[in-house]
């Protein structure tokens, strides 16, 4: 169980001397105890500096505003983009799925086992196949049919369900493309799983593409969705070795396992505030 005193501070800014000292001193003066700290710079001389700090602060709920005020002049001085997150505040998320259940099940299993700390507010699907599975977990299931002719109406209904109600949308093999206008409403807050090792085999039917090329590795990629298809900042990737004995169905079976693990790790890291986006890349303090 996450402590109610635990908070996370994420920072990105131009690199220069004194950043760690200033932040650490501020936290100390506020009575906080740093329990974990990670940092990275793209270049010590003029690069971008990234930092993630976990700390405990007694009576965090009542003292958080004071801490924010204390950090603001430091953030201004060092030109920081920064976020303060309370670890005990569960992030509400929606899962978008279609017919395949392997990625959805992995998320549900981890959520039930408390290995993934979140509030799964709903599952939204363009088919009804997974309704019984989802409702057995006590999670609301919403069916919104999507066709080429009613894409706009379907997305309007989806937005009505999620906008202002969830912090994160997870596309767990949701086999529809979200429009650019939808994605713009959730910048770096839509995680997609692509069943190949991007940037290879972009688009439809990547396993058939991979088989035709005689690949020796099958992979999966979890990334933030952007307006450009399958080209958003990559959070996590993994691979499994295959060989000439494997046919397309074997590749799909092996791939499903990789997809489950990769998506679950990416979602967990996002929920734990371990991902910082920089341009079209990520810094992941996993």
* pLDDT tens digits, one per residue of 91-133: 999 999 999 999 999 999 999 999 999 999 999 999 999 999 9
pLDDT of residue 196: 75
243 included as an active-site residue? no
What span, in angstroms and rounded, lies between the C-alpha atoms of 163 and 41? 35
> What are the sequence ranges of the domains in the chain?
6-86, 92-284
Q: CATH: 3.40.50.170, 3.40.50.620, 3.30.70.960, 3.40.50.970. Which one for 92-284?
A: 3.40.50.170
Q: CA-based angle 123:126:130, to the nearest 5?
A: 55
Give mean pLDDT, residues 147-151. 83
Instruction: Identify the weakest region by mean pLDDT among 39-53, 61-75, 193-207, 226-240.
Output: 193-207
- Measured CA to CA in angstroms, residue 100 lies from 174, 197, 266 at distances of 8, 19, 19
Quote the pTM value.
0.92
Is 6-86 CATH 3.40.50.720?
no
pLDDT grade, residue 1 (50/70/90)? very low
What span, in angstroms and rounded, lies between the C-alpha atoms of 155 and 132? 23
Give mean pLDDT, residues 216-230. 90
Q: Which residue has the tokens 């058939």?
A: 208
Considering 15, 167, 230, 273, which one is annotated as catalytic? Answer: 230
pLDDT of residue 2: 65
């Amino acid at each position: 169980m996450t402590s109610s005193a635990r908070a996370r501070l994420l920072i990105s800014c131009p690199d220069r001397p004194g950043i760690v000292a200033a932040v650490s001193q501020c936290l100390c003066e506020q009575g906080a105890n740093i329990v974990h700290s990670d940092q990275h710079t793209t270049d010590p001389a003029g690069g971008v500096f990234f930092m993630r700090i976990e700390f405990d602060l007694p009576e965090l709920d009542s003292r958080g505003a004071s801490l924010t005020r204390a950090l603001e002049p430091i953030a201004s001085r060092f030109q920081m983009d920064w976020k303060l997150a309370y670890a005990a505040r569960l992030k509400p998320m929606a899962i978008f799925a279609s017919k395949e259940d392997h990625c959805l099940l992995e998320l549900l299993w981890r959520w039930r086992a408390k290995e993934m700390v979140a509030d799964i507010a709903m599952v939204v699907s363009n088919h009804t196949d997974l309704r019984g599975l989802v409702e057995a977990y006590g999670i609301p299931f919403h069916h919104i049919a999507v066709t080429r002719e009613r894409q706009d109406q379907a997305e309007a209904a989806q937005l009505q369900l999620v906008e202002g109600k969830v912090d994160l949308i997870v596309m767990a093999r949701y086999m529809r493309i979200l429009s650019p206008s939808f994605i713009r409403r959730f910048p770096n807050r839509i995680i997609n799983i692509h069943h190949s090792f991007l940037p290879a085999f972009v688009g439809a039917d990547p396993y058939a593409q991979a088989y035709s090329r005689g690949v020796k590795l099958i992979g999966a990629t979890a990334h933030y969705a952007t307006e450009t298809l399958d080209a958003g900042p990559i959070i996590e990737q993994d691979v499994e070795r295959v060989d000439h004995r494997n046919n397309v169905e074997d590749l799909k079976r092996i791939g499903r396992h990789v997809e489950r693990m990769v998506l679950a790790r990416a979602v967990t890291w996002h929920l734990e505030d371990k991902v910082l986006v920089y341009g079209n890349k990520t810094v992941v303090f996993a």
